[in-house]
């Protein structure tokens, strides 16, 4: 098993990564305080993995709440349903909440844990690649608003993250690829060696070779843990983790939640960021092509949706947490492995990128 630590002083916590962790009572029990547990999962993941998890929680008063499956359910109404389930028991302030599922379950459960009685203990058990390499680590929790993605939320760190790699065996190929987008992101923003390693190993990753998957998850989480330890509340360097997200969120919202997967939108968004960086004279066209090739080999889309025109993009991109004084700040690339936050790009060049004008 590989174990990483997110170093946040008294709120530091471990990330456990290995096969077959789900039913491991010895691993999970030390992070549970109180005698009540509320496991939140969804209608797809619960039939697959809830029973195994429950075996590690025997002797505790365990409640479960099953959400409908989909990004479109990461909203205030479904959040209210979680509060209702907690209050119906009623669950007390020592209750440990456990998120069992992908990023949607993790984000909404984490936000519920942050709010319920002003905060109860919380454990992340991510079951998608995307959640294992990104959303379960770092304490960003949120729900969507019809006008903007992840616009209502809180920073709230889990007590531990348990990434059982064997759960990825039941993930469909499209979801695996969506997770690879966030893996590739770490290489692009700060880890050239990892990007080169991904170029060598992407086929084995797509084939779910467990050894290669474990290394990719470990290296991704190590990158994320370092960034979060340096800048938990995104005053600076953490913003780089949003490479491709301003474009991607516009695609997700503009195309309707759930139509483009988050990872797919981020993949195309990262290429759009690379394209704008190239038009601006920072990254080379050859490097942009290298990025597009890796994304395509990972099974990800690289062509922005034709349905969104430039004005609609700009309108959607204005609802972004990096907007300051009405100006859209973007994460751009000086090179592969070297990202920066820019508000100095030329807005005509941005329009060219958004219009999908060649070269992209």
Report the catalytic residues: 118, 140, 182, 224, 234, 238, 242, 245, 249, 262
Residue 107 found at the interface with ligand GLY (CB under 6 A) = no
219: part of which helix (H) or strand (E)?
A: helix 210-230
Size of the site for ligand GLY (CB under 6 A): 6
CB crowding 152-169: b at 16 or more within 10 Å, else e: ebeebbbbbbbbbbebbe
| Residue 107 contact partner, candidates ligand GLY, ligand NAD, none, CB within 5 to 8 A by sort of partner | ligand NAD
Judged by DSSP in three states, 125 sits in strand
Among 65, 140, 149, 218, binds ligand GLY (CB under 6 A): 140
User: From CA 196, how far away is CA 201, in angstroms rounded?
Assistant: 9
Q: Measured between alpha carbons, how far is 186 from 240 in angstroms, rounded to an integer? A: 9
CA pair distance 217, 20, nearest whole angstrom: 15
Q: Judge contact between 119 and 156, C-beta under 8 A.
A: yes
Q: Classify 150 as helix, strand or coil.
A: strand
- Binding-site partner at residue 301 among ligand GLY, ligand NAD, none, CB < 5 to 8 Å by type: none
Please choose which of ligand GLY, ligand NAD, none residue 191 contacts, taking the beta carbon within 5 to 8 angstroms, the exact cut-off set by kind: none
262 binds ligand NAD (CB under 6 A): yes
Question: Would you give the binding string for ligand NAD spanning residues 212-251, x where CB under 6 A is met?
Answer: ----------------------------------------
H or E stretch covering 116: none
What residues numbered 73-132 form the site for ligand NAD, per CB under 6 A? Answer: 74, 101-105, 107, 127-128, 130-131
Instruction: Annotate each residue in 116-135 with x if it binds ligand GLY (CB under 6 A) or - if it does not, as one string.
Output: ------------------x-
Per CB under 6 A, which of residues 207..266 are in contact with ligand GLY?
238, 241-242
- 238 or 297: whose CB is closer to ligand GLY? 238
List the one residue out of 320, 321, 339, 190 whose CA is nearest residue 276: 339
Residue whose CB is nearest to ligand NAD in the complex, by number? 103
Contacts with ligand NAD in 55-74 (CB under 6 A)? Answer: 69, 71, 74
The H or E element containing residue 71 is none
Q: How far apart (Å, rounded) are the C-alpha atoms in residues 78 and 280?
A: 42
Region for 237 from its dihedrals, namely left if φ exceeds 0, alpha if ψ lies in -120 to 50, beta otherwise: alpha
Site of interaction with ligand NAD (CB under 6 A): 42, 44-45, 48, 69, 71, 74, 101-105, 107, 127-128, 130-131, 134-135, 138, 140, 150, 167, 170-171, 175, 178, 262-263
Site of interaction with ligand GLY (CB under 6 A): 134, 138, 140, 238, 241-242
């Amino acid at each position: 098993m590989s174990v990483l630590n997110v170093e946040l002083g008294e709120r530091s916590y471990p990330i456990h990564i290995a096969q077959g962790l789900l039913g491991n009572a010895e691993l999970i029990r030390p992070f549970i305080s109180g005698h009540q547990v509320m496991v939140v999962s969804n209608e797809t993941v619960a039939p697959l993995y809830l029973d195994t998890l429950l075996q590690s929680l025997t002797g505790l008063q365990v409640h479960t709440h099953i959400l409908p499956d989909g990004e479109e359910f990461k909203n205030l109404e479904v959040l209210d349903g979680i509060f209702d389930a907690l209050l119906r028991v009623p669950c007390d302030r020592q209750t440990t909440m456990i998120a069992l599922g992908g990023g949607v379950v993790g984000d909404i459960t984490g936000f519920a844990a942050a709010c319920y009685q002003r905060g109860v203990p919380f454990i992340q058990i991510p079951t998608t690649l995307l959640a294992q390499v990104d959303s379960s680590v770092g304490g960003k929790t949120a729900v969507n608003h019809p006008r903007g993605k992840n616009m209502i939320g809180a920073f709230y760190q889990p007590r531990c993250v348990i990434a059982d790699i064997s759960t990825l065996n039941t993930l469909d190929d499209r979801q695996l690829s969506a997770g690879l987008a966030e893996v590739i992101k770490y290489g692009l923003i700060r880890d050239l060696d990892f990007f080169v390693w991904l170029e060598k190993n992407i086929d084995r990753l797509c084939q779910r070779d467990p050894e290669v998957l474990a290394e990719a998850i470990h290296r991704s989480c190590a990158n994320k843990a370092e960034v979060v330890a340096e800048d938990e509340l995104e005053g600076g360097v953490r913003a780089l983790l949003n490479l491709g997200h301003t474009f991607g969120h516009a695609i997700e919202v503009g195309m309707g939640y759930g139509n483009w997967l988050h990872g797919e939108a981020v993949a195309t968004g990262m290429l759009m960021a690379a394209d704008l960086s190239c038009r601006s004279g920072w990254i080379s066209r050859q490097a942009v092509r290298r990025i597009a090739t890796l994304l395509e080999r990972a099974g990800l889309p690289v062509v922005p949706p034709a349905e969104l025109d430039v004005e609609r993009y700009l309108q959607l991109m204005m609802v972004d947490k990096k907007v300051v004084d009405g100006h859209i700040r973007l994460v751009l690339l000086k090179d592969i492995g070297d990202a920066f936050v820019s508000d100095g790009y030329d807005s005509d060049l941005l329009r060219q990128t958004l219009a999908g004008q060649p070269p992209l």
